Amino acid sequence: MSIDLAVIGGSGLYNFPGLENAQRQSVETPFGPASGDVVTGDFAGKQLAFLARHGESHSLPPHRVNYRANLWALHQLGARRVVGVNAVGGIRDDMGPRVIVVPDQVIDYTHGRFTSFCDVEGAEVKHIDFSEPYTASLRRDLLAAAARAGVPAIDGGCYGATQGPRLETRAEIARMKRDGCDLVGMTGMPEAALARELELEYACLALVANFAAGCGDEEEISIEEIFAHLAAATAEVPKILAAMLAG
């Protein structure tokens, strides 16, 4: 099977709008089950594969996602380019609700996750170069496609990956800001590193659902508002990817 692009959908993106001739693919992996079936089909004249990171009913919290199985399944189906769509909180002032960011760096604050395919007995130990965690050419393609589609997108930013599923304290966000983080999310790692181990091109479309704790004007973060902002940003994703595939 020839897959032109694989998309991993985050919170709010559980199926891919506009996917035609869709077929469900159940892929067995050496690392257990993926988050669900991979759905393949035609989009913008190309073959696209879609996988809902949290499951189609959002049944998997961030720390329980089988990231290894997800990446392996997409790789097994022939994907070579992967876009991870991630719901995030904004730390930097210009990264407020409904803003779309294509980050270029990541800091990993997660713990207890399977972070490498090397964790399996007898596997080859790979020391990947992760100085640039996202594939530069794919990032450029996403940004150019967003411009063609008329969708504003910020070029660059540091994604801080936290454990979840709870949101962060004000003190934690203040520390992350001191560390240089511009965004905070719960699913950016180990996904990016695993993609690199499989030699996949990988980039992130970060959709800002809310300001992180202490960064906006609101005293308390409303889950209802988060999902309203997320729905608005998510609606722009197919436009960007259609422009990229058609480009």
Q: Which CATH number do you get for residue 72?
A: 3.40.50.1580
Please tell me the predicted confidence (pLDDT) of residue 242.
97
The string of pLDDT tens digits covering residues 82-119 is 999 999 999 999 999 999 999 999 999 999 999 998 87
Please tell me the predicted confidence (pLDDT) of residue 57.
86
Q: Determine contact, residues 188/86, Cβ cutoff 8 Å.
A: yes
**pTM, whole model, 2 decimals?**
0.94
Integer Cα distance of 97 and 99 in angstroms: 6
- Token output for 94: 């210009």
Work out the average pLDDT over 39-48. Answer: 96
Q: Which residues contact 223 (CB under 8 A, 6 or more apart)?
A: none
Phi-psi domain of 124 (left: phi exceeds 0; alpha: psi -120 through 50; beta: other): beta
Q: Which residue range is the domain that position 129 belongs to?
A: 5-246
How many folded domains does the chain comprise? 1
58 is in an annotated binding site: no
187 is in an annotated binding site: yes
233 is in an annotated binding site: no
What 3 state SS string does 123-177 have? CCCCCCCCCCCCCHHHHHHHHHHHHHHCCCCEECCEEEECCCCCCCCHHHHHHHH
- Provide the percentage of residues in the chain whose pLDDT is more than 70: 98
Q: What is the DSSP string of 99-110?
A: -EEE--EEEE--
Residue 110, amino acid: T
Instruction: Identify which of 132, 122, 246, 110 has the alpha carbon closest to the alpha carbon of residue 196.
Output: 132
92 is in an annotated binding site: no
Work out the average pLDDT over 183-195. Answer: 98
212 is in an annotated binding site: yes
Measure the CA angle with vertex 136, ends 132 and 142; round to 5°.
130
Integer Cα distance of 56 and 39 in angstroms: 11
Residue 247 has pLDDT above 80, yes or no: no
Please tell me the predicted confidence (pLDDT) of residue 1.
64
Q: Point out which residues pair with 52 in neighbouring strands.
A: 9
40 is in an annotated binding site: no
Q: Determine contact, residues 163/186, Cβ cutoff 8 Å.
A: yes
Residue 123 has pLDDT above 80, yes or no: no
Instruction: Identify which of 117, 12, 112, 13 has the alpha carbon closest to the alpha carbon of residue 70.
Output: 117
Q: Which residue has the tokens 């709870």?
A: 166
Residue 218 has pLDDT above 70, yes or no: no
Measure the CA angle with vertex 187, ends 247 and 244; round to 5°.
5
- Token output for 214: 């202490």
Q: Determine contact, residues 204/159, Cβ cutoff 8 Å.
A: yes
Residue 196 has pLDDT above 90, yes or no: yes
